[in-house]
Amino acid sequence: MRHLALLLPIIGALLAGCAGGPMGPTPPLTSGEPAAHVTVQRSRSMLGAPASMLFSINGRRVHALRLGQQFSFMIDPGEHRFGYDLGFNSCSQRYLLDPGVSYVLRLTPVCQFELLRPGQGWPAR
């Protein structure tokens, strides 16, 4: 019985790392300029597959992505730091977003970020 009591917190921590979905709000829109639209995609790489990729905007965690998942948000144009934590990796990159432009941000578990605009491998909206 004592071993079970020791295992429960460990199992709970492992399951929490597997959850996906919202973790906090995205930054509020405050600019008078048209917002940028960003779709974040996690690659289907098996590296780090069991863990959630904890995506952050300007240092604040906003979404947990499971293998192959994506989510979208609107954000004020300007400079932002996008990042993620995936157990063994903590990565971030700064981007300058233009007003009213849609972007796709592709993430891999080895600290690779790829920010695409319409016409760069995906159709315009």
pLDDT at 88: 76
Name the class of domain 2-116: mainly beta
Three-state DSSP at 9 gives helix
Residues sharing a CB contact under 8 Å with residue 54, sequence separation 6 or more, in sequence order: 23, 61, 63, 64, 84, 85, 86
Residues sharing a CB contact under 8 Å with residue 120, sequence separation 6 or more, in sequence order: none
Give the tokens for residue 9.
Answer: 């917190």
β pairing state of 112-116 and 102-108 = antiparallel
Residue 9 — pLDDT band, cuts 50, 70, 90?
Answer: very low
pLDDT at 66: 93
Residue 122 — pLDDT band, cuts 50, 70, 90?
Answer: low
Residue 107: enclosing H or E segment and its boundaries?
strand 102-108
Q: How many CB atoms lie within 10 A of CB 65?
A: 21
pLDDT at 39: 97
**Does the pLDDT at position 44 exceed 90?**
no
Residue 124 — pLDDT band, cuts 50, 70, 90?
Answer: very low
pLDDT in tens, 79-120: 999 999 998 789 999 999 999 999 999 998 888 899 998 766
**Does the pLDDT at position 125 exceed 50?**
no
Contact 83, 55 (CB under 8 A): yes
